[in-house]
Amino acid sequence: MKYFERMKEKFKKLQAKKDVIVLSIESSCDETSVAVVKNGREVLSNIIASQIEIHRRFGGVVPEVASRNHITAIANIFDEALQKAGVTKNQIDAVAVTYGAGLVGALLVGVNFAKSLAYTLDVPLIAVSHVHGHISANYISHAKLEPPFVCLMVSGGHTAILEVKDYEEYRLLGTTVDDAVGEAFDKVARVLGLPYPGGPEIDKLAKTGKDIYKFTVSNSLKDTFNFSFSGIKTAVVNFVHNHEQKGEAFEKCDVARSFEEHVTDELTSKAVRACHYVGQTKLVVAGGVGANYMLKEKLKEMCEKEGIEFYAPVLSFCTDNAAMIGSAGYYMIKKGLGLADLDLTAKPNVELGAVYETKS
Ligand code: KG4
Ligand code: ZN
């Protein structure tokens, strides 16, 4: 019997199995990560090899360099993840991997490693969307959190509001029409001469600055749940260039603060309005920008006022990691979704809210 035919049977059995151990792999950008997750919530290990230092000197992620570093790191990270978890290869019930969205060359390293592993161990291969992984980071952070809820998804690649109706059941309410919010943070940091990744640098700097510049977010999308950050990003870039050309002084912290205030106001008000719109009383933030202090403070405060429960992932699960992929993979197994064959390949873009379609 062919691998995929055998796996269809094993996959069905896994849906009913009491304890399920998922080995998960994430390599969509500049973090190589392997984790072992039990029953979707118990993180037995989560090893992350960050390439931030390598890319910092280029001022951003260089895709080719990222792929090469994933290749050299992944086998050792895998060994370390098993060792830390105290689990043997034979105890792995399934392999879950990020197949998109992300840098194709980087993703391919994880996908190919996962395929070889699933084939060798003769266990099902689960294709996980990176974005859904970010949302699941909340399940490993909050033992009692269950869908339904509204999710504000904010990362370097995505900005969206989704209604999470059930595990792996999504409805997209709005998305960015241009830049992702993390991209805007990184660009603003770059023009201010701050190191990569810029988001955390802006976060730090903004705490000491004043909101004195009127960098506003476009009003044209105010009645929707969509976002546009390219206008405010360009306004900041022009402001800095104009001042530099004229030799006029300004405080970087005031620019960072003014930018961050307006961006976080926009994210907060739309996310809370989305909760009321769909009648949900739980709001969850996900993705790297979810680590932002001001954003979390505003969301917390506004949710409290409006009678909404607010959840954010613990800091270490906010940015890219494999544990969140293992959690999403587990819930996909339980819902009979995402089983992949050995022809699985990397996708630069994955439709927000769409779950990998198993071929029949
Ligand atoms: O989720 P993530 O690790 O990767 C993607 O899936 O894109 O998000 C990375 C993004 C980067 O743009 C980074 O600058 C931003 O998240 N970020 C932050 C903070 N920490 C990371 N942005 C604002 N404040 C932070 N504290
Ligand atoms: Zn990410």
pTM score, whole prediction: 0.95
Task: Please work out whether the CB of residue 353 comes within 6 Å of at least one atom of ligand 1.
Answer: no
Distance of CA 131 to the CA centre of its chain: 5
Q: Is the peptide bond before 235 cis (omega within 30 degrees of 0)?
A: no
Please name which ligand lies nearest the alpha carbon of 294.
1
Note the pLDDT of residue 45.
98
Domain boundaries, given as residue ranges, for the chain: 3-137+318-340, 146-313
DSSP 8-state code for residue 254: H
**Predicted pLDDT of residue 127:** 98
pLDDT value for 285 = 98
Decide whether 3-137+318-340 matches 146-313 in CATH topology.
yes
pLDDT digits (tens), the chain, 360 positions: 899 999 999 999 999 999 999 999 999 988 899 999 999 999 999 999 888 888 888 888 888 888 898 999 999 999 999 999 999 999 999 999 999 999 999 999 999 999 999 999 999 999 999 999 999 999 999 999 999 999 999 999 999 999 999 999 999 999 999 999 999 999 999 999 999 889 999 999 999 999 999 898 888 899 999 999 999 999 999 999 999 999 999 999 999 999 999 999 999 999 999 999 999 999 999 999 999 999 999 999 999 999 999 999 999 999 999 999 999 999 999 999 999 999 999 999 999 999 999 988
- 20: its two tokens: 């399920």
What number does the ligand 1 atom closest to the CA of 130 have? 6
State yes or no: cis peptide before 291, omega within 30 of 0: no
Q: Are 97 and 325 in contact (CB under 8 A)?
A: yes
Of 32, 134, 176, 185, which is best to mutate to test ligand 1, by the most ligand atoms within 8 angstroms of its C-beta? 185
**Residue that is written with structure tokens 């390599």 in the block:** 27
The number of the ligand 1 atom at minimal distance from the alpha carbon of 102 is 6
Phi/psi for 283 (5° steps) reads -125, 130
What is the per-residue pLDDT for 157? 92
What's residue 240's pLDDT? 96
pLDDT of residue 59: 83
Q: How far is CA 104 from CA 94, 148, 196, 222, 343, in A?
A: 23, 32, 21, 34, 15
Which residues on neighbouring strands pair with residue 166, listed in sequence order? Answer: 169
Does 3-137+318-340 carry CATH code 3.30.230.70? no
Smallest-distance ligand from the CA of 289: 1
Ligand 1 centre from 320 Cα, in Å? 9
Residue 294: closest CA among 271, 264, 259: 264
What is the torsional sign of CA 206, 320, 19, 73? Answer: negative
CATH topology for 146-313 is Nucleotidyltransferase; domain 5 (3.30.420)
Gap from CA of 313 to ligand 2 centroid (Å): 13
Structure tokens at 190: 């770059």
